[in-house]
Structure 1
């Protein structure tokens, strides 16, 4: 496969069983073959997208000493600000050429679950930043729920199989700023080749070149979304749970041509995580004589902890 398929969520939510099944078949095929789709018909409206970009550009434009106030020690970078070059891809010592922010779950109906997560960090200098971030988080979470319902049907599971696992899940909205490149990078790129940790990732800001996906032949292909599309990919948790039936595809963000080094790039991934006690044990339906069980049993919380240590975000 040499391009990213495009699907429309409105087919799934249309109430028409034929359109709904067509969506399930299309997204299932894409995730078995390349691990990425471009999604139209999501639940973000244009004004919210514009407001979110305005707010994150305002934040990353703040003085460095102001941003550093919001870098919270001891939580593995799971909320607030993470400074430039601090995160590196698994197995790579060079830090990625990016800084980012984390919005986390807004637990409003489970006091015990709320204690499990760090609190979201409020930016005092920007009156709308946190409210706009919360609204975008919740719209993306709702969009992701429907995508996972389609995947449940594709896997032969009950449609709402994932619903209880993702309600109050440990999901993260990560606005990223790739600053202008001021000198020849020393073996570093904006985001080195990696797979995502989580169930699925919904990415805003994949317009224009930069994001690349590795296909089954090992070739790097450009993943470019239309302005009204989200790029959505399978993460390692879902790949593991399905015995690699649904593929967590290696991807990267390459540096731009030298003439564009002076420009910033912004992207906003939403990492859909389940609650920590979800078992990622391989589904029985994904094991047969040709596809023996590939992964040990593990919970989502254990897997996340392991990966944050590998990324250098947790000691």
Structure 2
């Protein structure tokens, strides 16, 4: 079967590492180069506790959720109400909270504006939602450890030296990664079923916990067909971001994906993505030239070819610091936040003022 015809997402067993490391790395290499998505089963992260918290946060009174509005945060962290984002001109139907790993902002006057993007998240109070922050923050910290370890496996699978990606992360205590808790409500009769439209993720790796039984996630293969990625017990869905694709000169492949809203009567879909970020000052296009891949990896990429899908490319990575790419994406997705906290950048991107439809893609 050619890579253009993949019809399912490979499942990698984390426990295989201890039994047959070479086999695991071979499977990982195939997923990186030919699919861009994989299931990772058996990773050492507690998911049960965070799943139990999800209905609680969405059950908060609307006034409590609105008090955590992303508009309060120069870091673009907080609550976003249902039906306020668009992808490729179509309305996304999802309600969400943007959170992040712990971080104290280090921006100072004269620094690039994009360094303001990392900082403390907004959390429900412990009085209103006891234990929520502790559980969710621990989940993201633990997933950060998993992502760091998995990045080392990516490096090994692609035949690079063990420290090949170390310059693209900040030292401990100076790095922040982001996450969301998302609710996709049931689609209304006669309405669009777009939970979120076709897109790529921007960073290095995404670890997605599908936190309910409702399907909806789909990946686009290189022939343009949409492939279901149903929830599987004890798994993360891991996918390649455009940042890692750019850094590896297209060897590791970012793949277009979308989420369809649950059908009427099925209940809401919940998901918890973790987005592994990139050191903000790095220009990935320049950095990519410093990596040398072994001939067998390059040959495998060449056999795959250069597939294209109908999502939008992050071409800014070629010449722009990764932090600026991330900030531009946030401004396009949430111009109301940018208007309040980044007025000059807002005017440069939206000279006519707040648009009626907002989309990063």
Same fold (TM over 0.5): yes
Residue 197 to residue 251, structure 1, CA distance change in 2 (3 Å): same
Q: Distance in 2 between matches of 1:123 and 1:62?
A: 9
Instruction: Mark the runs of 5 or more structure 2 residues left unpaired by the alignment.
Output: 1-5, 109-114, 307-314, 339-345, 347-361
Which residue of structure 1 lines up, in the alignment, with residue 312 of structure 2? none
| Residue correspondence of structure 1 range 78-117 to structure 2 within 5 A | 78-89=76-87, 92-107=88-103, 117=118
How far did 1:164 drift? 5.5
Q: Secondary structure at 1:73's aligned position in 2?
A: helix
How far did 1:154 drift? 2.5
Q: Distance in 2 between matches of 1:312 and 1:112?
A: 21
Which residue of structure 2 lines up, in the alignment, with residue 165 of structure 1? 168
How far did 1:208 drift? 4.3
Q: Distance in 2 between matches of 1:95 and 1:65?
A: 23
Which residue of structure 1 lines up, in the alignment, with residue 342 of structure 2? none
Residue 116 to residue 193, structure 1, CA distance change in 2 (3 Å): closer
Residue 156 to residue 201, structure 1, CA distance change in 2 (3 Å): same
Whether the aligned pair in 2 keeps the contact of 1:97 and 1:191 (CA below 8 Å) is: yes
Q: Distance in 2 between matches of 1:257 and 1:177?
A: 14
Q: Distance in 2 between matches of 1:26 and 1:274?
A: 25
Q: Distance in 2 between matches of 1:220 and 1:181?
A: 19
Deviations 1:101-145 (A, max 9, x none): 12212138x967997623121311101111011110011111111
RMSD: 2.9
Check if 1:252 corresponds to 2:255: no
Check if 1:180 corresponds to 2:186: yes
How far did 1:53 drift? 1.9
Q: Distance in 1 between matches of 2:21 and 2:48?
A: 30
Which residue of structure 2 lines up, in the alignment, with residue 31 of structure 1? 32
Deviates further, 29-38 or 116-125: 116-125
Which residue of structure 2 lines up, in the alignment, with residue 299 of structure 1? 321
How far did 1:77 drift? 6.7
Residue 308 to residue 111, structure 1, CA distance change in 2 (3 Å): closer
TM-score of the two chains, using structure 2 as the length reference: 0.75
Q: How many equivalent residue pairs? A: 301
| Residue correspondence of structure 1 range 179-198 to structure 2 within 5 A | 179-185=185-191, 187=192, 189-198=194-203
Which residue of structure 2 lines up, in the alignment, with residue 311 of structure 1? 333
Which residue of structure 2 lines up, in the alignment, with residue 154 of structure 1? 157
Q: Secondary structure at 2:57's aligned position in 1?
A: helix
Instruction: Mark the runs of 5 or more structure 1 residues left unpaired by the alignment.
Output: none
Check if 1:285 corresponds to 2:292: yes
Which residue of structure 1 lines up, in the alignment, with residue 10 of structure 2? 5
Q: Distance in 1 between matches of 2:234 and 2:81?
A: 30
Whether the aligned pair in 2 keeps the contact of 1:70 and 1:81 (CA below 8 Å) is: yes
Q: Secondary structure at 1:95's aligned position in 2?
A: strand
Q: Distance in 2 between matches of 1:311 and 1:107?
A: 22
Q: Which runs of 4+ in 1 moved over 4 A?
A: 110-116, 286-292
How far did 1:247 drift? 1.0
Residue 52 to residue 111, structure 1, CA distance change in 2 (3 Å): same
Q: Distance in 2 between matches of 1:310 and 1:274?
A: 19
Q: Secondary structure at 2:9's aligned position in 1?
A: coil
Check if 1:202 corresponds to 2:207: yes
Whether the aligned pair in 2 keeps the contact of 1:205 and 1:266 (CA below 8 Å) is: yes
Q: Distance in 2 between matches of 1:96 and 1:179?
A: 11
